[in-house]
Amino acid sequence: MMRLFAISMSALMLLQSFHVTVSDLVQLDELLEHAQYHRQQFGDNFFVFLSKHYGSEKEEHSREHQEEQPQHEQLPFQQLAHLSGAHTFILRKPAFEFGWLPESPAQKPNFHYIPLRSTPFQSGVFQPPRQA
């Protein structure tokens, strides 16, 4: 069962990468019917039909055959691919300094160690570092 699920999800991702949707798969019968119409009316084979509707002859065919426009709108794979982009912004330190801002005084390090409990090792190697 897990393999079937993994295979179906992989197939779905593959189809989505080619921008194939479920509505395109449902409209495949309309593609075949329109190809049959072109074979009967114009004598086109399937590759010429694909060229007229999806390839280099698409604009010319749509100009010459306006009466087929409702059928052309029902064909699958007509949607445009949606692309997304990522933008990166890099903020850099400005090249100028604000002259009206006061300079910050040199700060002393704010570090002070207070032992929480007394230990048998009050002096020697086992003491934490001390500020000089």
Task: Please report, to the nearest 10 degrees, the dihedral formed by the alpha carbons of residues 48, 50, 56, 58 taken in order.
Answer: 100
Q: For the chain, how many helices (H) and strands (E)?
A: 6, 0
Residue 56 is classified by DSSP as: T
- Confidence (pTM): 0.51
**Start-to-end Cα distance in the chain:** 69
Percentage above 90 pLDDT, the chain? 10
Q: Where are the domains of the chain?
A: 21-78
| pLDDT tens digit sequence for 49-79 | 888 888 888 888 888 888 888 888 888 887 7
| pLDDT tens digit sequence for 76-99 | 887 765 555 666 766 666 666 666
Give the pLDDT confidence score for residue 40 in this predicted structure.
92
